[in-house]
Chain A
Amino acid sequence: MLKSLSNRITRKVKNQVKEQPVWSPTQQSVTSNIKDNMDYLQQELANCCDLVSRPLKIGLDNATEAFIIYLDDLVDSSALEKTMQLLMQGNQSITNTIEKPLHQVIYDQLLSVGQVMPLDDLNTLIQEILTGTLGLVLDGETVCFSLGIKSGVVNRPLEEPPSEGVLRGPRDGLSENIQINRGLIRRRIKSPKLKFEKMTIGTLTQTQVNIVYIEGLALASLIQEMKQRLERIKIDGIIESGYIEDFIEDTPYSLFSQTIVTERPDRVAISLLNGRVVVLIDTTPFVLIVPASFPRMLEGVDDNYTRYSFANFTRLLRFVTLNIALILPAFYVAISTFHQEMLPTKILISLAGVREGLPFPVFVETLFMEITFEIITEAGIRLPRAVGSAVSIVGALVIGDAAVSAGFASPATVIVVAMTAISTLTIPEVGASHAIRLIRFPLLILASAFGFLGIVIGLLFVLIHLCSLRSFGVPYLDPLAPLHLTDFKENIFRAPRWSLSKRPTEVSENNSTRQPIRPKGKPPKGNEE
């Protein structure tokens, strides 16, 4: 039975039929017969109503037949107009036509676009056209051109990222357009060493993916590894960075996310400066940062901007809330069903007082309330903004008041669940808080069966797992295990900026000096009067 079940899950089908891929372009050379080229392109792009192709005559005395082909929705109309104008009226300016082939002359003198790609393969041309370039095919030539006149497609204005709010710091967020994202990063790091390596992933979606790193700072092996993992992906489509994330993780089944996901360009820049590698994906504002480590995930980006004293306070606070979010419900269940002797007498009496006459055991009560909270959280995300406040009112009333006054739950449980919920929300990284929300339930069950012993066993499991987990070869608990005390200054605490002269140890073996001196501030000399 188990076997058939597992077979059904993994969808093992015997006698598999060899399927043909939907589109696997092979080499299709440009022929010198313009008619053939045109036929091929139109046949491949048949039934695409956004396609525009138009023959025209260009060259000296407009003697050469040519045609342009593009997707109407993707090109910038003013750039298109300008290019066509030059092509059709440019015969006056053409000189020296004898020595060079026509396509060279046109390339040299007529194409007023910055990004011109001479191609000899029609299928490559199709792919280029599909990204929004203008295809230009000439009669009698075996070279065609792809002219970059992409319009920015639908661009929403740069908004503050809703998933990562900050009190202090830049208000711009990454957008769905990879070009704009590159610009946002480049604006922050104006160095020729900042590299964007382009890849195209997805046999059908042909999504542009960029590997971003600072050359000489990021480990070459890390970049190489990233390239290899990305090249391994042969899926038909990449829609969001989550698709890529699943492919490039070291331990795919782990509950913990092994990449940092962000939509803040400043966070990307900070990571790059630490020697991390970033993956930009077109059509999504969320980018991936590797290698990730768990302490990094407790780091809000504005820790870097607020004064070090307060930033340290909030960091410590987050370590506390992490523990609350993870074990408080389990701790509550354990202490009120197994270890009553651990409670001070007064607390025990009030706990026993409020629990008298309640229908459910503490465990069931806590589990119900936790599930209720998860339902409300989920509803808060799904529901339209306009009814969001209604959800929160209903949630507060249901969880907080009605359940207590109806005698279904004790106020103590409500406090515990509310405290846990609030604490979960303080964890800045979504990947980390999701993992914690998931682990909470097994811990709760263990606590209800074994008390503190269960919690400790559960936490040990989690800890052992975290210790063995790696993100691109870097230990997930860096800098806690293996211990790098120098990194504590930046990664666990936040020392004043002038004292941070070293980059994180694990990711910057190449070049660890961030600043050569420690320019600590002090009052000017000789002004003591």
Chain B
Amino acid sequence: MMKKTITYTFILLLLLTLTGCQSRRETENLAITNAIGVDKLNSGGKVIFKFYEVILLPRKLGVSSKGTTTASEQTYEVVDSQGQSLEEAVRNITTKIPRITFLAHTQVIILGQSVCEENLNEVLDFLIRVTDIRLRSKIYVTKGDASEVLQAKPATESELGKEIFGLGTYGKNQSAEVKEITLKDFGDKILTPGREAWAPVLEVTNTNKLKNENNLKVNGLALFKAEKLYGWLNKNDTKGVMLANGEAKQGSQTVAIADHGQIAYLFNQSKAKISVQINEEKLITADIIVKLSGNLVESGGYPLDNQEDIKLAETTLNQTFEEQIRSAFKQSQESESDILGIGRLVERKDKALWDRIKEQWPKMYSEVEINVKVDSKIINTGLRNKTFNGKFIK
């Protein structure tokens, strides 16, 4: 009994050493990457991918064992490499940095325009197939090369990945002009027939005019048709799209009313319903009904004394929003990019018809008619009901 116990204990102990702690990696040896970028070069008919990693430098970011460091130092490093495949590019990076490549904390993926136009298939396949990168990472597209965006300086955050992540994550709750999309949703939308993908566009700007720096902003959407970039939406049209698919959480609209001056409206709830009608000639019409509720937050001289005034303001707002949605829809039709998923609705409504038309759907999409109806409500007019310019007017 005792002999057996001792023998088994020895065997168990040996077993522990056998594994050799194979997949062990110490935290301080990781090259923590929180943003990656992909560009491509064409050299002699061959596609060469350029891969960028934004590697954080923990000792300059947080409290190190030797105390805090000064804030002015750069807290991240952008490392680039190239390869015929993305994996090759990643392996090439490992020859340049003395640490273990660690992509699991990637929060932001930036895709250059050329990649999106021609090689999105390979890139998405890599991003989703690799177990390291989370499907929760956010996708951004740039006009031009991703490297331009990666050279920008973060304006308020300590490092670039966090800055971009914050732009989308916090921006989308405060403005309907900003939107973000996860890698998973992006991939799903690209694969689903009858619905096209979109991704927010990152643009270089100057946040603080006093400093001569390149900063970043989110500006509009990139529209895809199947797995190819096909067109762009500007800020206003982004709001129209978000209103139409009910994803706008908060946003404002300024409208001028007759000759009374202008008001600013801030909606904080939106609901949208899209339905399709198919008539006998198989013509497809989409009805978009949007319900908004929010507050009047600013009035430049427009009186809000009675219900009629508010009604008029609401009607004017409705017209403006409807116009925006129509414009956005038109824009997406020009790109043949069905970002609202009208095709899916057609499929649900009439499967037989859809099976017949799905091959030509992008073409047909550009001919879909829409009826837009916006019903915006002013719930509250704030702490004042009179304006400041009525002192001498009776």
Contact = CB atoms under 8 A, between A and B. Distances in A.
Interface of A: 2-3, 5-6, 9-10, 336-338, 340-341, 345, 348-358, 361-362, 404, 407, 410-411, 445-446, 448-451
Contacts of A407: 65-66
Contacts of A341: 104-105, 132, 134
Contact of B2 (A9, A348, A356, A446): A9
Nearest to B12: A442
Given A2-B7, A3-B3, A404-B65, A348 B105 contact: yes
A403 to B, nearest CB: 11
Considering residues B32, B62, B102, which has the most beta carbons from chain A within 10 angstroms of its beta carbon? B62
Given A345-B105, A362-B27, A407-B66, 16 more contacts: A2-B3, A6-B6, A338-B25, A340-B102, A341-B132, A348-B105, A349-B61, A349-B62, A352-B28, A352-B30, A356-B28, A358-B28, A362-B26, A410-B65, A448-B21, A449-B21
Interface string B92-112: 000000000010110100000
A418 B64 CA distance: 20
Given A348-B32, A353-B64, A356-B64, A340 B25 contact: yes
A169 B63 CA distance: 47
B307 interface: no
Interface in B104-147: 104-105, 107, 132, 134
Interface residues of B, number: 31
Nearest to B75: A349
Interface in B1-41: 2-3, 6-7, 16, 19, 21, 23-28, 30, 32, 34
A345 B27 contact: no
A345 B58 contact: no
Given A341-B104, A345-B107, A352 B58 contact: yes
B63 A354 contact: yes
Nearest to A405: B65
Contact of B62 (A354, A358, A448): A354
Contact of A445 (B16, B26, B34, B58): B16
26 contacts: A2-B7, A5-B6, A6-B2, A337-B21, A337-B24, A338-B25, A340-B27, A340-B32, A340-B105, A341-B105, A350-B62, A351-B27, A352-B32, A353-B58, A353-B59, A353-B64, A354-B65, A355-B26, A357-B28, A357-B65, A445-B16, A448-B24, A449-B16, A449-B21, A450-B19, A451-B24
B3 A6 contact: yes
A3 to B, nearest CB: 6
A407 to B, nearest CB: 6
Given A2-B7, A448-B21, A356 B58 contact: yes
A416 B111 CA distance: 41
Considering residues B6, B56, B58, which has the most beta carbons from chain A within 10 angstroms of its beta carbon? B58
A340 B107 CA distance: 15
B65 A355 contact: yes
A77 to B, nearest CB: 54
A481 B278 CA distance: 62
Contact of A2 (B6, B16, B25, B132): B6
A345 B34 contact: yes
Interface of B: 2-3, 6-7, 16, 19, 21, 23-28, 30, 32, 34, 56, 58-59, 61-66, 102, 104-105, 107, 132, 134
A349 B61 CA distance: 7
Given A6-B6, A341-B104, A348-B105, A353 B24 contact: no
A82 to B, nearest CB: 59
Q: Which 5 A-B pairs have the closest CB atoms?
A: A341-B104, A352-B58, A353-B58, A353-B62, A350-B62
Nearest to A451: B23
Contacts of A5: 6
Contact of B63 (A337, A350, A446): A350
B69 to A, nearest CB: 9
Contacts of A345: 32, 34, 105, 107
Contacts of A449: 16, 19, 21
B308 to A, nearest CB: 53
Contacts of B3: 2-3, 6
B56 A349 contact: yes
Contacts of B25: 337-338, 340
Given A345-B105, A449-B21, A353 B61 contact: yes
Nearest to B132: A341
Nearest to A9: B2
Given A356-B59, A451-B23, A349 B28 contact: no
B57 to A, nearest CB: 9
B65 A348 contact: no
Given A10-B2, A345-B107, A448-B21, A340 B30 contact: yes
A350 B21 contact: no
Contact of A355 (B2, B6, B27): B27
A292 to B, nearest CB: 25
A446 B17 CA distance: 10
B154 to A, nearest CB: 15
Contacts of A450: 19
B28 A355 contact: yes
A445 B9 CA distance: 14
Nearest to A344: B105
Contact of B23 (A3, A6, A338): A338
Contact of B65 (A337, A356, A362): A356
Nearest to A335: B27
Contacts of A349: 32, 56, 58, 61-62
Contacts of A445: 16
Given A356-B64, A404-B65, A410-B65, A350 B58 contact: yes
Nearest to A341: B104
A336 B6 contact: no
A385 to B, nearest CB: 37
A357 B6 contact: no
A9 B6 CA distance: 11
A492 to B, nearest CB: 34
